Amino acid sequence: MSDQYSTEPLLEMYLFETSQLLEQLEQSILSSEKESGYTEDAINEIFRIMHTIKGSSAMMLFDNIAKLAHSIEDLFFYIRKEKPEKMDLSALSDLVLEGVDFIKTEVDKIKGKSPADGNAEDLVTTSKTLLAELKQMNAVPDISLITPAPVAKSTAQTTAEDILETQHYYISQANTPVSNGTFAYKAVVHFEEGCEMENIRAYTIIHNLKETAGDLYYLPADIIDSDESVNIIRKDGFQIFITTDWDYRKMHDFLMQTIFLKDMELTSLENTSVLDQFKKKDTELVEKPIKMPTGKEVNVVEKSSRIPLQEKEALPTNTTQSIISVSVVKLDKLMDLVGEMVIAEAMVIQNPDLKGLQLSNFSKAANQLNKITSEIQDIVMSIRMVPLSATFIKMHRIVRDMCKKLDKDVQLEIIGEETEVDKNIIEHISDPLMHLVRNSVDHGIETTEERLEKGKPKSGTITLEAKNAGSDVLIIVRDDGKGLNKEKILKKAKENNLLFKNEEDMTDKEIYNLILLPGFSTKEKVTEFSGRGVGMDVVTKNIEAVGGTLSVDSVADKGTVITLKIPLTLAIIDGMNIKVGKSRYTIPTISIKESFRPKESEIIHDPDGNEMIMVRGECYAIRRLHDVYRVATNITRLSEGIIIMVEQDEKTVCVFADELLGQQQVVVKALPQYIQNFKKIRGLAGCTLLGDGSISLILDVARMFNH
Amino acid sequence: MKRVLIVDDAAFMRMAIKNILVKHDFEVIDEAENGLVGLNKYKELRPDLVTMDITMPEMTGLEALKEIIAFDPNAKIVMVSAMGQEQMVMEAIRSGAKSFIVKPFKEDHVIQTLSKL
């Protein structure tokens, strides 16, 4: 990459935009494939995207990407222009998708600061072959010989022999004379090297001179539609013969204004005889009007005339200015600051110095502050929310590729993709989701023959659904495949010592959920797509890392349903603060069912000495926090403390603590690494700062008592 | 300081051009991501110079150029083109574009072109 463009933000923008365009391109191809044909819009879009990627990559000096994009652009330029009737759609889709994959890989390399050194030659060749085939398939013999597609021929490809062979000089007269011309000049103009498109630069001069010229001839004359003219101009310069009313000074100054002018020679001609010789040849004006298809222009006018003038001007400007892109780093920082602000607010309002004081004005102001901070917090949260659609849509490609390779027929249905979750969470669930979809196609859905035998519809269906459920989002991956095999799971679990209770005592659901345990995989054969030595346990781990949970359900021959429950956001939760001895803990309010002071008479002891409590006829285990975390406290009698009934993941436990401190919004902070890694303390989701400055540990009740 | 409007559908290109211009005493007053937005912004802001990409959705650079010239015949518009678009650049010059730059462009090419207008 040249220094000129190596500035970080530009590279970041390149990576961002290219990735975005690739996603768009992939979708465009997939939906075209589904509709078994490319619409005009799709072709235009693919062409434009490739054009953009080519341009940006060339600027960043990623030549392999630029070259590949260029060749695909050429292909679609042809399709766009010629609208060929016969096309090998599948080959075309394959090429573009492979191209997308190639560029994606390169982009990833660049992101990882490694050189983008992939070789796209094969793909470029495929693209060129495809273009040639396309031309051949759709050639109307006579016409195609006369008008080769303009893209195929660029200045760079014109060989030296070409130039020699076709190096004839044309002279032509420009527009109808405006003045008779009192002076005659000859000018030779040389352009700077590397300025590109010299013929059009020459044309620009002629175009601007036309107004003042009497007679105007130039050499080479076929500057408009000849590639050789570029080489002639580079070698010999661009010659102009003109009669005009302009004096030498004016003419000289005009030509000196030419952009990328290297040098220029202007000679006054004694008489116009030089020009006469051109006249004799009677060459006509070469300038052919190149018209845009008029239909397009009419369309635009029609469209605009329908909208009232004021609206027309206001509308597009508004829509574009209402959206800006912001770097995620800044949003993270903002989120952090809001978190700090929530803590600071609590520190002020719940300051121990204020205890017992009657401060009505202060309370009013504090309420106002509280209102504003929670509004800010809501807004900041909503800024970070991203719809799941992008993640979901990615799965189309995975299903398509796998179906092709495994020779299965699977439809992917997407429901509720507009559901939003925090940006950070999306990043964490993309991989697990991909894994689940792969599993469904590979292990779940049967082959077409098997399906027909079972009397099922020929093509399998995988449904990807997202919906809100309180402060969580449910993502459901459902397939109508063969379902999980209970016996196999049990057998495997036994082999690996994964059974935690008696086989007979286990519910179906418990058996199915065994597949989520580490070291479990029933597929004997490892395929390309799933079972790469990692199983569902990795999925579980990823989902748990963002505070989510996973559950499996299945019916033989009907299919499997995997449900992911993930929190909307990681950052701020409503929590109930409790006290045990000198320590503080926070329990997410959402999981608290009730809290009460137990009577001694309600307590039951089982033969192992475990404490239980009867509540409305149901029996619940009691866990004393001071025992679990070995905290010294004076309150050890159950009737003196408080019981908090917590429900999480369909398990209910009663937690015993000294007292409730109150409810507040808490900012979830990650536990320090050394606690996470070395101490392995169970059941902690993070920590937070309370209003009085003390640290409180946030409890993950379900995990605390899993064993 | 000349006021410039950048019209390009690629955010990367807009940034690349902007980065160059701001280093050389041009003021980039706004950006537009297609020809239609570009046209409206031209009418609203009356920039001294416009850089105009050719291949864009909604309204191409050529269409926008013609509309702008029809609105203001003295508009100074520089086309941002790529190799292979010669015919379109020619059409643009004929329709009133003052000059053009060719992608991938170099910093001094952009500056040379724009400062001569």
User: For residue range B98-110, what is the model confidence (pLDDT) as tens digits?
Assistant: 999 988 888 888 8
For residues A303 and A305, what is the distance between their CA atoms, to the nearest angstrom? 6
Q: Residue A55 and residue B99: Cβ atoms within 8 Å?
A: no
What part of B 71-90 touches A (C-beta under 8 Å)? 81-84, 86-87, 89-90
Q: CB contact, 8 Å: B99 with chain A?
A: yes
Q: Residue B11 and residue A204: Cβ atoms within 8 Å?
A: no
> Which of the two residues, A377 and A292, has the higher pLDDT score?
A377
For residues A87 and A567, what is the distance between their CA atoms, to the nearest angstrom? 47
Average pLDDT, integer, range A474-497: 84
Does position A466 have pLDDT exceeding 60, yes or no?
yes
Q: Report how many domains make up chain B.
A: 1
Q: How confident is the model at residue A49 (pLDDT cuts 50, 70, 90)?
A: very high
Structure tokens at A181: 């011309």
Q: How confident is the model at residue A502 (pLDDT cuts 50, 70, 90)?
A: confident
Which among A4, A14, A51 has CB closest to B12? A14
Could you tell me the domains of chain A? 3-152 (1.20.120.160), 160-281 (3.30.70.1110), 328-386 (1.10.287.560), 388-567 (3.30.565.10), 572-704 (2.30.30.40)
The pLDDT assigned to A402 comes to: 86
Domain coverage including residue B27: 2-115
Chain B's closest residue to A298, CA to CA, is B63
Q: CB contact, 8 Å: B49 with chain A?
A: no
Residue to test with chain B: of A261, A287, A300, most B Cβ within 10 A: A300
Residue A37's alpha-carbon distances to A94, A97, A127, in angstroms, are: 14, 15, 18
For residues A230 and A678, what is the distance between their CA atoms, to the nearest angstrom? 71
Average pLDDT, integer, range A53-78: 89
The pLDDT assigned to A255 comes to: 86
A134-168 pLDDT tens trace: 888 776 654 444 444 444 434 444 444 343 333 33
The pLDDT assigned to A680 comes to: 63
Contact list, B69 vs chain A (CB under 8 Å): none
Q: Residue B94 and residue A207: Cβ atoms within 8 Å?
A: yes
> Which of the two residues, A673 and A563, has the higher pLDDT score?
A563
Q: Residue B59 and residue A197: Cβ atoms within 8 Å?
A: no
Cis-peptide into B104, omega within 30 deg = yes
Least confident of A138-147, A180-189, B86-95: A138-147
Question: Where do the DSSP E strands lie in A603-658?
Answer: 603-605, 611-615, 618-624, 642-648, 651-657
The pLDDT assigned to A154 comes to: 41
Chain B's closest residue to A258, CA to CA, is B116
Q: Residue B37 and residue A200: Cβ atoms within 8 Å?
A: no
Amino acid at A489: I
Average pLDDT, integer, range A610-617: 87
Q: Residue B57 and residue A320: Cβ atoms within 8 Å?
A: no
A633-649 pLDDT tens trace: 888 888 889 999 988 76
Average pLDDT, integer, range A193-212: 83
ipTM attached to this prediction? 0.88
Average pLDDT, integer, range A422-429: 83
Task: Say which CATH number the domain at B101 has.
Answer: 3.40.50.2300
The pLDDT assigned to B37 comes to: 93
Task: Identify the three-state secondary structure at position B6.
Answer: strand
Please provide the average confidence, as pLDDT, over all residues in chain A.
78
Does position A265 have pLDDT exceeding 80, yes or no?
yes
Structure tokens at A700: 């993950």
pLDDT more than 70, % of chain B: 100
Q: How confident is the model at residue B79 (pLDDT cuts 50, 70, 90)?
A: very high
pLDDT more than 90, % of chain A: 8
Shortest distance, CA A13 to any CA of chain B (angstroms): 6
Q: Residue B12 and residue A155: Cβ atoms within 8 Å?
A: no
The pLDDT assigned to A320 comes to: 44
Q: Residue B100 and residue A200: Cβ atoms within 8 Å?
A: yes
Q: Residue A290 and residue B41: Cβ atoms within 8 Å?
A: no
Residue to test with chain A: of B5, B8, B12, most A Cβ within 10 A: B12
Q: Which helix (H) or strand (E) holds B7?
A: strand B2-7
A224-241 pLDDT tens trace: 766 778 888 888 888 888
The pLDDT assigned to B39 comes to: 93
Residue to test with chain B: of A10, A49, A56, most B Cβ within 10 A: A56
Q: Report residue A158: phi and psi, to 5°.
A: -70, 120
Amino acid at B5: L
SS3 string of A211-233? Answer: CCEEEEEEECCCCCCCCHHHHHH
Structure tokens at A666: 């808490």
CB neighbour burial string for A610-624, b if at least 16 within 10 angstroms, e if fewer: ebbbebeeeebebbb
Structure tokens at A707: 């064993």
Average pLDDT, integer, range A378-407: 85
Does position A311 have pLDDT exceeding 70, yes or no?
no
Does position A319 have pLDDT exceeding 50, yes or no?
no
